[in-house]
Amino acid sequence: MKAARTDTLTSQQAPIELYSEDSGSWMITDSPQDESPFPMVYEDQKMRYVYDDYIEGGALRSGSTPKLFSRQYFGLVAQYAGVGFIDGVLPNVIYPFLQNYLNLPGSQTTTAFVLVQMPWSFKVFYGIISDCFPIWGYRRRPYILGGWIFALIMLLMLSFTPDSKPYFTNPDYRDVKPEDYTPEIIATINYDAVNDGSVYIIPMMGCAFGYLLSDVCADGIVVELAQREPYEVRGNTQTVIYTTRTVFNMLAYILLGFCFNGEEYGGDFDFSLSFPMLMLIVTIVLAPIVPVTWFFLHEEKNAFAMNFNHYMHTLWDIIKTRAVYQYIAYQFFSGIFASFTYLSKNPIMRNWADVSPIQEKVGGLLSTGVYATSIYFAGNYGRSWDWRRTAAVTMVCYVSLDAFVKLLTIWNIIRSPYFWLGIPILEQIPLGVIFIVSSFIIVELATEGHEGAIRSKLAP
C-alpha cells in the first residue's frame, strides 16, 4: 500500500486515501477498514471519480476519444440501428394487426402491449450477468450476438406462422355496431380470429427478450466509451447512438405506414403485406447485424471474471451513495406516474378519434422525427443545463400536453384524428430532452466494472 494522503472533505473525519492493487486505482475512505474497491469520494455527499482530476481533458477513464464510425465501433452504432428498427415494428403492429385485423378486445391488446414491453423490466439482470460472467473473456460481444440470434429465431417463427383470417372478412362491416348486425353480416365474421392472439403475442415477447439483451450489453459499451470523452465533448457518444436509434425507429414507421395499411388492417390502401411477410422482411433486414456485431465491434478481452459476491457488495455500496439512490428514486416514481395506461386507449383512438392506421403511422413518424431532433439539440447544446430544473420543466410540459388532448377527446369537446395525433407530437420535445439529459447523468454515476448494471438500473 502506498503512503496515505489526506484531503479536506465536508465530513468531520479526514478521509484516508488508499491504493487498491486489484483495481489499480485510488480510493478515498473514512476508515482504513473500508473495503469498497471503487474509486469515489464523498464531497457534499455527491459521488465523483478520484481520477477526474488526473486524466487529460476531464475524462472519467483513460483511453482515446472513441470514433464511432471507425471499423472498431461501427458495430456499436449498428446495434442501435437494429434496436430502433425492431422496437419501432413490434409495439406498432399491435393496433393494426391485433386490434383491427383480429379484433381483439381492448383488454387483450393492452395486455399484448405490456407483454411486448415487459422484458425491459428485466434489463438490470442482463446488466449484472454481462458485468460478472464474461464468455471467452468478453463481457459484451457474445451476449449481444446471442441476443440477436434468439430474436431472429423468434422472428422466423412469426414469419412461418400460418396467416390467420381477419375477423371482418368484409372490411365494409367494420364500422357497423354489433346490435345492427344482420344475418348476412354475421355470416361473414370470423369469430375464431380472437382466439389466435396468443400465437403471435408469445413470440413477439420472446423477440423482445432477445434484442433487449443485445441492447443492454451495448449500453455497457456506450458507458465505457462515453467516459473516455473529454469534458468538452462528453455526451457526443450518447447523442450519436440515440439519434441513430430514433432515425431507424422512423424507418420502421415508414414500413408499417405504407406496407401494413390495407383495408383488413383498418386502413385505406388496397394492398398490404401479410403479417408473416412483414416479419420475414424484418428478419432479413436485421440478419446482417450478427456478423457486424462480431467483426466491427471491438472489445478488450479480459480473462478475469469478477467474484459475484464481491460484485454485488460493491454494487450495493454504489447504490447507497446519495447521488445514485436519489436518482433511482426519481426514475422509479416518475416511471410509475408516467406509465399509467388505460384499457380503452385503442378503442378511443379508433371509435372516437377515428384514427386510421396510416394516420397513426404518419403521426408516429412525425413524433419520432421531433424526438430525434430534440435529442440531437439537447445532446449538443444542453450539456451544461441544470439537470433538476430540466427534469421538472419537461415533466410539467409533458403532463400538461397529454392531459389537454386526452381530456378534450374523452369529454367530446374535440374529437379529431389530427388533434389526437397532433398534440402528442409536441410531447416528444420534453421527452427527448429529458431522455438524453438522463443519459448524461448515468455516465457520470457509473463506475468501472458495473457499467451494465448501473446503466440498466438508472436508465429511464
77-136 confidence digits (pLDDT tens): 999 999 999 999 999 898 888 888 888 887 788 888 888 988 888 899 999 999 999 988
Q: Which of 238, 244, 251 is nearest to 378 (CA)?
A: 238
Q: What is the pLDDT of residue 188?
A: 82
Q: Are the C-beta atoms of residues 93 and 275 closer than 8 Å to each other?
A: yes
- Tell whether the model's pLDDT for residue 18 goes beyond 70: no
- Residue 11's pLDDT band, with cuts at 50, 70 and 90, is very low
Residue 189: all three cell numbers together? 365474421
Q: What is the pLDDT of residue 184?
A: 85
H or E segment at 155? helix 141-159
Q: What is the pLDDT of residue 189?
A: 82
Q: How far is CA 208 from CA 106, 153, 290, in A?
A: 22, 12, 16
In b/e form, how buried is each residue of 30-56, taking b as 16+ CB within 10 angstroms?
A: eeeeeeebbbbbbeeeebbbbeeeebe
Q: Decide: pTM greater than 0.85.
A: no
Q: Give me the mean pLDDT over the 142-161 stretch.
A: 95
Q: Which residues pair with 179 in a beta bridge?
A: none
d(CA 123, CA 145): 16
For the chain, counts of helices (H) and of strands (E): 16, 4
Q: Are the C-beta atoms of residues 204 and 86 closer than 8 Å to each other?
A: no
Q: What is the pLDDT of residue 259?
A: 85
Q: How long is the chain?
A: 460
Q: Which residues fall within 8 angstroms of residue 160, CB to CB, at 6 or more apart?
A: 276
- Residue 10's pLDDT band, with cuts at 50, 70 and 90, is very low
Q: How far is CA 118 from CA 112, 124, 149, 208, in A?
A: 10, 13, 20, 8
Q: Which of 79, 93, 88 is nearest to 277 (CA)?
A: 93
Q: Which residues pair with 27 in a beta bridge?
A: 18
Q: How many alpha carbons lie under 13 Å from residue 342 in its C-beta half-sphere? A: 7
Q: Are the C-beta atoms of residues 154 and 212 closer than 8 Å to each other?
A: no
- Residue 210's pLDDT band, with cuts at 50, 70 and 90, is very high
Q: Which of 71, 80, 315, 115 is nearest to 219 (CA)?
A: 80
Q: Is 19 helix (H, G, I), strand (E, B) or coil?
A: strand
- Tell whether the model's pLDDT for residue 339 goes beyond 80: no
Helices 236-259 and 417-445: crossing angle in degrees, nearest 10, is 150
432-447 confidence digits (pLDDT tens): 998 888 888 888 888 8
Task: Kindly report which listed range (31-40, 293-302, 368-377) carries the lowest average pLDDT score.
Answer: 31-40
d(CA 203, CA 107): 19
Residue 12: all three cell numbers together? 468531520
- Residue 331's pLDDT band, with cuts at 50, 70 and 90, is confident
Angle at Cα 236 formed by Cα 232 and Cα 85, nearest 5°?
170
Residue bearing the bigger pLDDT, 459 or 160: 160
Taking the C-alpha atoms of 406, 412, 414 and 415 in order, what is their torsion angle to the nearest 10 degrees? Answer: 80
- Residue 24's pLDDT band, with cuts at 50, 70 and 90, is very low
Taking the CA atoms of the chain, what radius of gyration do you get in angstroms? 25
Q: How many CB atoms lie within 10 A of CB 70?
A: 10
Q: What is the pLDDT of residue 55?
A: 64
Residue 187's Cβ-count burial label (10 Å; 0-12, 13-18, 19+) is exposed
Residue 379: all three cell numbers together? 445532446
Q: What is the pLDDT of residue 303?
A: 62
Residue 433: all three cell numbers together? 430532452
Domains in the chain, ordered, with CATH?
1-64 (no CATH), 74-458 (1.20.1250.20)
- Tell whether the model's pLDDT for residue 15 goes beyond 70: no
